[in-house]
Each structure stands twice: as C-alpha cells, then as structure tokens.
Amino acid sequence: MENNAENIYFRIKIKARQQGLSLPQLAIKAGIGEKSIYRWKKIMPSIDSLMKVANVLNVPVSVLINGTEESKDEISIKKADLSDDSTLFTFQGKEIPKSDLEIIRRLLKGGNE
C-alpha cells in the first residue's frame, strides 16, 4: 500500500465488509457524504469523519489508523501531586491561581484547615 490514507481506506473497507456494510451504507450511517470513504483511498480523512466511521464500526479510531488498538501501556498518563508547589497546574490551558489551588487542597482534605 502506498500511503497511510490508502491503509486507512482498506482497513475501513475490511471492517465494513465484516459487518455486512457497503462503503456507501457505512458513510450514510456515519452521517458523512455517501462517496466520502472512496476519496480516502487518496486523501487523508478528517479526524471528525474518521471518528464517526469508527463509531459506526464499533472500533477504536486507532484500529483504523494503524491497525491495532492502543494498549494501556502505550497511553501516557501524567500524574501530579497537588501538594507539589513546584508544579504548574493548568485548566483549559490557563494557569490555576495559587489561591484556587489552596481551596482545592482544603476541599480534598475534607474542608478542614
């Protein structure tokens, strides 16, 4: 296979066939253009469209992208301790003020202090 778009296209085609769906049927169920999936043989689909198709096929997007499900070992989980004053905590891309962090810490301790 020549490119990643083509790989995605063929994975979708196989998954659809396994579920008894034609590509136009799959596209309609996913709420995308009836011929959209055929274009994915040459053009990379949007993540939004890919997610819709994955949802109809009941598979993770990773199966369509790389042919395998992500294992929990591959998913990076970041841990931070709220008592660590050297960590910059953010919410929705904005820094959480120190005064708000103190309120959160008090709440987690049961509201005492």
Give the list of residues 6+ apart from residue 86 with CB closer than 8 angstroms, or none: none
Q: What is the pTM of this model?
A: 0.58
pLDDT digits (tens, 9 = 90+) for 45-89: 999 999 999 999 999 998 898 887 654 444 455 678 888 888 888
